[in-house]
Amino acid sequence: MKIALGSDHAGFLYKEALKKMLLAQGHEIIDCGTDSLEVTNYPKYIIAAAQKVASGECERAIVLGGSGNGEAIAANKVPGIRCALAWNEETARLSRAHNNANVLSLGERMLSLETAQELVALWLKTPFEFGRHERRLEELARYEQQKKL
């Protein structure tokens, strides 16, 4: 799978660790930055990663910051993105199964690295369930295109 990664300084260490893990699993990675622990603003890195998914260049993206909240907000500004903030297995699984999330947001200050790795693995393997969930996503897509439900 082709996956974009993006983080600010507060998510940098986990981004680097997840990149190694994903490459070892055979995924193709596009790293949208940042490339150090130097304090920086997250929007440009997160939006760049989300745009890779929206354009079809990548199938999914994983974005990271201190809490993951700002990163989820930034990613969701990109049309076509359904970014979910996950903090445990259930939130990661449901973000895919019910919401077909194409971007996952994680907070480095909120999770152990081991938990973050487990959530990423679960999120990547969980399929979308379609059914009743599909019509809800269609409503969101219509709103995004026409700004009305």
Pairing of strands 28-31, 83-85: unpaired
Q: In what order do the strands lie in the sheet with 103-107?
A: 28-31, 2-7, 60-65, 103-107, 83-85
In the residue annotation, 98 being an active-site residue is answered as yes
Quote the tokens at residue 30.
């596009």
Q: Kindly give the residue spans of alpha helices, DSSP state H, lying in the chain.
A: 12-24, 43-54, 69-75, 89-97, 113-125, 132-146
Cβ neighbours, 10 Å, residue 134: 12
Q: Which of 16, 27, 59, 98 is catalytic?
A: 98
In the residue annotation, 9 being an active-site residue is answered as no
Enzyme catalytic residues: 71, 98
